[in-house]
Amino acid sequence: MGLVAGVVALNAVFVGVGYALLLPVLPASATASYAGAALLVGGAATGVGVFIAAIAGLRVGLLSLLGVALLLTAGGIAVTFIRGRTAEQAPSARLDTGGAVALAGLVCVLTLALVGGFRSSPWLDDSWGIWLPKGIALSAHALDERLFAPNGTYVFFEVPDYPLWWSTVAALGVRFAGNVDARVLDAQLGILVAAFAATVARLLWGRVRPWVLLWTLVLVVGSPELLRQTQSGGADVPLGIFVACFGLGAALWLACGDRVALVVTAACGAGAIATKTEGAPEVALVLAVALGAGAMLARPRVPALAAAGAVAFATAVPWWAWRAAHEIPSRVPLRDALDPAFLANRTGRLGESVATLGGHLLDPTEWLLLVPLLLVVSVLGWRRSRQAVWLVPAGVVALGYAFLAWAYWAAQEDLDYLLGTSAYRTVTPLALLAGVLVAPLVELLLRDREATPVEMRDTSVPVPDTGSPPRC
């Protein structure tokens, strides 16, 4: 098909599968506006399904894609037939002047990201040294242990503990394009970033005033480091997108009961776990904080969120079983990472890891102060209301930061090399998660201020506790 037609056709399949999976919960109105969410849901679910098929011995290609796509589509349609379509209406809002200006800027940035993706070759050596070669091997041999597991007979791939969602999608892109073209990776990244922005905009539309939502999205997608990594060919951007959408979807389900958000949560959680090794612990952290916050606020939707998280982790069981069967160790053995004596002998690594990771997260030339903005808004909301729930978004980012510092502390590789080659990328999920949570927090802060009587707006006067923050 060629590069452009092939990548577009593959993503059209993802959109079709995504719409089928969303069909039981999709509002009857504004269906087309959920195309971004459909692409992310379909891409995550289809990629995970084809990856599982490869574990079972099938080659990654058009036949396995067709089988998985038909199975997922049939499942979505069957659930819709049994339960029927939802009668809910999609939240709506009128675009104001400030929002229109932001939307124009957002479209310009995303257009540049898309054009740059299709016209550039990946600059990250992992893309042509790990991700794409693994994808080509999956296409030719399926998950052959001679290539993917350590052995003394054949040359095997590096980092064998990495899950293979990104390699699977790369292999499918190459098959659709008709030739081995590394630009497939960057083209797919550009499309995923556009779908990410569309998903966040749709999920928050009508719940966050347009100018707040769209200007925040401009900051997120206009962050220099995101645009730079979109042309890297690596898996860090997909991981960041999935983790951010997992967190946002969980929050919207608990606060608003948005069933589309719940499906996005399950699919993106599965996608994150299947993309990189740090995906599973990061999803687990976000899920634990979300469940804790839901329990603290006595939300009745906590069990459904727990079930969505369980579905996401269940999709990783075949990969973990395959790794265990072939004795593939983790790059950061859990036994060492939890051993106080082992960590005590390496305390010098902790300070450098904390400083380096923090420097990347807080550098405005990389992530446009997304994390500081989240911290400021969270603290302002907490000071006004004295409700600890305001600190939950900042807390989950802080926990993710602590997890990364702990992982570098326990890692066995040379620290300077490890930090220099990966720290700027591993913070991507935290930056994107912070970015998507800023807009709803600002909206809640504005609503709280508007609802507060004028005579009580003096910050020296305590505001009565009115329960949980405003709901959707």
Residue 451 CB-half CA count within 13 A: 14
Q: What is the mean pLDDT of residues 88-116?
A: 89
- Tell me the per-residue pLDDT of 303-361, one tens digit each, with 9 for 90 and over: 999 999 999 999 999 999 999 999 888 877 777 788 888 888 888 899 999 999 999 99
Q: What is the DSSP letter of 91?
A: P
Q: Rounded distance, CA 402 to CA 405, Å?
A: 5
- Would you say 426 and 459 are in contact if contact means Cβ atoms under 8 Å apart? no
The helix (H) or strand (E) run that includes residue 66 is helix 62-83
Sequence-distant (6+) residues with CB within 8 A of 422 are none
Q: Which residue has the tokens 């002998």?
A: 345
| Over residues 133-143, mean pLDDT | 93
Q: What pLDDT digit, counting tens, does each position of 392-438 carry?
A: 999 999 999 999 999 999 888 889 999 999 999 999 999 999 999 99
Give the closest residue to 160 by CA, choosing from 189, 139, 130, 137. Answer: 130
Question: What is the rounded CA–CA span in Å between residue 201 and residue 269?
Answer: 19
* Average pLDDT of the chain, as a whole number: 90
**CB atoms near residue 472 (< 10 Å):** 14
Residue 330 confidence (pLDDT): 82
Q: What is the pLDDT of residues 181-212, one digit of tens each?
A: 899 999 999 999 999 999 999 999 999 999 99
pLDDT at residue 336, rounded to an integer: 75
Residues 210, 204: Cα–Cα separation, whole Å: 9
Q: What is the DSSP string of 155-192?
A: ---S-TTS--HHHHHHHHHHHHHTS--THHHHHHHHHH
Give the C-alpha separation, 333 to 157, whole Å.
19
Can you tell me which residue has the tokens 């989240």?
Answer: 374
Per-residue pLDDT reduced to its tens digit, 369-402:
999 999 999 999 998 888 888 999 999 999 999 9
Question: How much is the pLDDT for 284?
Answer: 97
List all residues 6 or more positions away from 98 whose beta carbon is below 8 Å from its beta carbon: 210, 211, 214, 215
464 band by pLDDT with thresholds 50, 70 and 90: very low
Check: CB of residue 110 under 8 Å from CB of residue 193.
yes
235, 293 in Cβ contact below 8 A? no
Distances (CA, A) of 300 to 288, 367, 400: 16, 36, 26
pLDDT at site 452: 64
Instruction: Kindly report, residue by residue over 121-135, the tens digit of the pLDDT.
Output: 999 999 989 999 999
Q: What is the pTM of this model?
A: 0.93
What angle (nearest 5°) sits at the alpha carbon of residue 275, between those of residues 246 and 151?
A: 150
Domain chopping of the chain, boundaries = 3-329
Q: Coil, strand or helix: which one is 461?
A: coil
**Strand, coil or helix: 169:** helix
165-174, 269-278, 337-346: least confident range: 337-346
